[in-house]
């Protein structure tokens, strides 16, 4: 009997692993594809909140900012400082919207899972939760980051960008290529794992003592949710800045 597994058999095993799921899901059929409906619902709610807040914030801008406009400008300045620190003074400008959008989507998604009683809304299968509680969302965000830093490097250096893979020596070519695969993996699994763990930590004490015990844990979840959004945005900006280094 041949103990060497064929490539087709190996691919079949990888496909089987990709079908592993955590919990039940509410599926939608869209164009022949099966998608997680509960993730799309909560993602659209988060996007609607962000768009609505942005519309209200810029509806009547004043030369001398007051109230909510002060808060919005403070947030924008925070994004500028974060992006400038990681990418550099000369190149950071065009990337502020991308980094800011990443931070806000992750931040609001994380907080929605910690604050909103999604369980009240019943679905035929599964239950609503934070969008970042689903590995598909975090992987999509990580892949967007990968596309962004490849685009940044290629736009700045052209095909010379790929020269980084043989620096400082061609011997490191496999390791340098592997690094570009580990970046999105670490981004996606870090965010997914921490948000899932936070929700599980809150869910366990909620069942026996639903009012008293979970409150301190929920505050801790709010703090860690914000930290995870900051980490993701900071690493995304750092990867983009790294891809544009050495162009002078």
Q: What pLDDT score was predicted for residue 240?
A: 92
Q: Kindly list the distances between the CA atom of residue 171 and the CA atoms of 155, 177, 178, 181, in Å, as whole numbers in the listed order.
A: 26, 11, 13, 18
Token couple for 232: 């993701």
Q: What pLDDT score was predicted for residue 47?
A: 93
CA 221, CA 202: separation in Å to the nearest integer? 8
Q: What pLDDT score was predicted for residue 208?
A: 59
Residues 6 or more apart from 69 whose CB is under 8 A from it? Answer: 57, 61, 62
Residues shown for the chain = 248
Token couple for 150: 């490849």
Half-sphere exposure of 224 (CA within 13 A, CB side): 20
H-type helices in 3-67, by residue range?
7-18, 37-57
Q: What pLDDT score was predicted for residue 27?
A: 65
Integer-rounded Cα radius of gyration of the chain:
21
Q: What pLDDT score was predicted for residue 248?
A: 39
Q: What pLDDT score was predicted for residue 20?
A: 46
Token couple for 131: 């969008």
* C-alpha closest to that of 132 among 228, 218, 212: 228
What is the mean pLDDT, run by run of 10 residues, along the chain of 248 residues? 49 45 61 75 90 82 74 89 91 92 93 72 70 88 93 88 83 86 89 81 60 63 85 93 71
Q: What's the whole-model pTM score?
A: 0.80
The burial of 46, by beta-carbon neighbours within 10 Å (0-12 exposed, 13-18 middle, 19 or more buried), is given as: buried
**Any idea which residue has 């909620």 for tokens?**
206
Q: What pLDDT score was predicted for residue 8?
A: 55
Token couple for 126: 């599964």
Tell me if 25 sits within 8 A of 126, measured CB to CB: yes
Token couple for 143: 């892949």
**Cis ω before 168 (30° cut-off from 0):** yes
**Any idea which residue has 């290529």 for tokens?**
177
DSSP state of 36: E
Tell me if 199 sits within 8 A of 130, measured CB to CB: yes
């Amino acid at each position: 009997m041949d103990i060497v597994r064929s490539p087709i058999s190996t691919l079949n095993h990888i496909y089987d692993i990709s079908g592993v799921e955590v919990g039940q899901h509410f599926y939608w059929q869209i164009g022949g594809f099966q998608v997680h409906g509960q993730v799309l619902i909560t993602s659209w709610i988060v996007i609607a909140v962000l768009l609505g807040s942005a519309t209200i914030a810029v509806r009547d801008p004043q030369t001398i900012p007051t109230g909510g406009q002060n808060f919005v400008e403070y947030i924008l300045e925070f994004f500028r400082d974060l992006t400038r620190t990681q990418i550099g003074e000369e190149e950071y400008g065009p990337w502020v919207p991308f980094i800011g959008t990443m931070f806000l989507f992750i931040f609001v998604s994380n907080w929605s899972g910690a604050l909103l009683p999604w369980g009240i809304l019943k679905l035929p299968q599964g239950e609503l939760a934070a969008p970042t509680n689903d590995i598909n969302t975090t992987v999509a965000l990580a892949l967007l980051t990968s596309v962004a830093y490849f685009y940044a490097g290629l736009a700045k250096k052209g095909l010379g960008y790929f020269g980084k893979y043989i620096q400082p020596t061609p011997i490191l070519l496999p390791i340098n290529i592997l690094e570009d695969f580990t970046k999105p993996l670490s981004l996606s699994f870090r965010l997914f794992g921490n948000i899932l763990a936070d929700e599980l930590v809150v869910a366990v004490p909620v069942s026996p003592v639903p009012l008293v015990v979970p409150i301190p844990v929920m505050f801790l979840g709010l703090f860690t949710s914000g930290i995870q959004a900051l980490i993701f945005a900071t690493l995304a900006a750092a990867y983009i800045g790294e891809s544009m280094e050495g162009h002078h």
